[in-house]
Structure 1
């Protein structure tokens, strides 16, 4: 069986080395190379003309960070699957990565078993999300939407705005609703879609083509 080709982009060499060892310990994955930042990755991609199956992309890096790198990948290598790596659960930054096409994110203190599940989910299902989410979110991308949650027009409008960089207060203003009403929309959708954060809402929208990256 051929192995999935993985590239690691991270300026912390000790962490990247440990991650490479972990990836290579899985029978169906193999690290092709490791770069220290986005610019090194782009140089390598352009020199080899070979696109990896999966890129593990750090967010905070010098010279060219994860968001800038994701923007380039979206324009130049839109088919490559990317998992964002983060030291902190910074919602705004992670949402930016998802809006630019990342298929999910991993905190760097993730358990090895969960890490392996994340790799498999991205390769087999198209997305990975660490929260407890519904089968709708993590279901096969080509599995149809027969089990998709029924959403009202105003809920869809709210979800589309939640995928932008607007604050909840700004969303309230745009929808001509009070912040308290927007809080109600958010909490109701958290329950309806079985997610616990704005990141979960964004991934649901991307998965179900409510918001297109």
Structure 2
């Protein structure tokens, strides 16, 4: 079994060391890099021959914070998945991070098993949203008027097949599962996903889910 390589950046030493011990206790996972801030993390990524598959970032760190580190990692190391682990829960702030290209957002009060679940999900499905995040999204959208300009243009912006693929992506089906449901190849599913990213301007699958929720293409309630 391949070991999942993980990096952690958090300026709170006790919390960071605790997370390292927890993650190293998960089967098939290993923390290969830790840093006290975004600058230290970026320097280690630049100089290390072995890079992590997933980076777990705190948002509030000295020198370079989690948001700025996210921008650099996405630009320079596009294959690295990013999980934010933070105390901040303001929904507008969270959705902005999703649009920047992170793959999951967890609050620091989650149970260890959910961290493991999120790591596995972002590798398999490219994103992970827990119930707390989806409830925040639903709360934010409640009472908002539909974004009619985008809604009116949806039929011309996306094909019917792309809408079907997008719906199944939001419901956390893998590319293989989507292919089986729609009787198309995994390669074709990937092609539709790439078209969706290009047409919507999103950076990854997590962004597609946020796009769907913000434009009333899917109700967050059906996702948990």
Normalising by structure 1, we get a TM-score of: 0.67
Measured on the aligned residues, the alpha-carbon RMSD in Å equals 3.0
Match of 1:206 in 2: none
Quote the residue 1:81 is aligned against.
81
Q: State the partner residue of 1:66.
A: 66
Q: TM-score, normalised on structure 2?
A: 0.64
Instruction: Flag structure 2 segments of 5+ consecutive residues without an equivalent.
Output: 135-166, 183-199, 203-212
Q: Give the structure with the larger helix fraction.
A: 2
Match of 2:31 in 1: 31
Structure 2 distance, partners of 1:131, 1:110, is 11
Shift of 1:62: 1.1
**In structure 1, which of residues 186, 193, 199 is the aligned counterpart of residue 218 of structure 2?**
193
- Offset of 1:194 from its aligned partner? 3.4
State the match for 2:160 in structure 1: none
1:49 Cα shift? 3.9
C-alpha contact 1:67 1:96 (8 A) present in aligned 2? no
Quick one: distance in 2 between partners of 1:187 and 1:4?
33
Aligned match of 1:55? 55
Equivalent pair of 1:131/1:195 in contact (CA under 8 Å): no
Distance 1:119 1:187 in 2: 25
The count of residues paired between Structure 1 and Structure 2 equals 162
Question: 1:93 — aligned with what?
Answer: 93
CA offsets 1:174-213 (integer angstroms, 9 cap, x no match) = xxxxxxxxxxxx8993xx62316xxx9xxxxxxxxxxxxx
Unaligned runs of 5+ in 1: 147-159, 164-185, 201-213
Equivalent residue, structure 2, for 1:21: 21
2:179 corresponds to 1:140: no
Pair 1:27–1:56, CA change in 2 (3 A): same
